[in-house]
Amino acid sequence: MTVVDAHAHIGRSIYGETLAVDGLLRQMDQHGVDLSVVTPFTPPDLDFSSANSEMAQAVRQHPDRLIGCIRIDPRMQAASRDEILRGVESYGFRSVALHPHEQGFAANHPCVLPAIALADQHRLIVHIATGYPVVSTPTQIAALARQFPHTPFVFGHMGADAYFSDAIMVSALFSNVYLETAGHVLTGEAKNGLRLAIDAAGDDRVIFGSDSPYFDLGVELKRVEVARLPPESQARVLGDNLLRLLN
């Protein structure tokens, strides 16, 4: 079984967090993670071009362990377009990440549409951090999923605690919505978030992610373990689903 972390960061954040490549690789080795999808933090200079370049260099150095995901700020229209095209044409990446809360835009704001349209044109996965009131709720992103039905939208954090029910509702309505597990809170036997997500979307549309270093990689893997999924479902969640999307 190949274990893939769909959501990890490397570099340095304007908010103080940091994770070097060698630190991430050590975590992966410790917990048996084969591959990690990496995106930059919001960098101290707010220059996603440089941050994406540094991330791409790390991927080139460790192509058997790291998969790159371009990070953009869709408010910066021309710059976002350039970063997406560079990610596709120069780096060969298959996904783009947006964080409405950190960059200060609503997920369904018109400024987002050109970036999503370009991602749709190049058949990219769109990862959006969800669970932030006003700017990034599952129903806001549902508007994008409806407008771009052929684009896979990955809901980072499955809507988080406040919007988990909305996230699984949206996933049941739109077949291009995927739920990423980082930080999901319902891990009990009577009410388990991972099993509820699978009941709503199917085990082919739930994807493991850690959001390292914000969450502990070992703890996030434990959430999957305690869900006690059938072996074939666990394999899909832990890696097969994302590998299929990334082709």
User: Which CATH number is 140's domain given?
Assistant: 3.20.20.140
* Rounded mean pLDDT, 68-96: 97
Confidence tier at 185 by pLDDT (50, 70, 90): confident
* CA distances (Å), origin 56, targets 50, 77, 146, 179, 194: 10, 21, 31, 25, 31
Decide if pLDDT at 121 tops 90. yes
For residues 39 and 185, the model is more confident at 39
Decide if pLDDT at 213 tops 90. yes
Percent of all residues in the chain with a pLDDT value above 70, rounded to a whole number: 100
Q: How many domains does the chain have?
A: 1
Q: Which range marks the domain in which residue 120 is found?
A: 4-246
Decide if pLDDT at 206 tops 90. yes
**pLDDT 10s digits, 11-35:** 999 999 999 999 999 999 999 999 9
What is the pLDDT at residue 189? 85
**pLDDT 10s digits, 139-148:** 999 999 999 9
Task: Evaluate the omega torsion of the peptide bond into residue 110 and state whether it is cis, within 30 degrees of 0.
Answer: no
Decide if pLDDT at 186 tops 90. no
What is the pLDDT at residue 187? 87
Half-sphere exposure of 132 (CA within 13 A, CB side): 19
Alpha carbon distance 205, 227 (integer Å): 16
Decide if pLDDT at 247 tops 90. no
Decide if pLDDT at 65 tops 90. yes
H helices within the chain, ranges in order?
A: 21-31, 48-61, 77-86, 100-103, 113-121, 138-147, 160-173, 193-201, 217-226, 231-235, 241-246
Residue reference for tokens 């508007």: 143
Alpha carbon distance 208, 181 (integer Å): 5
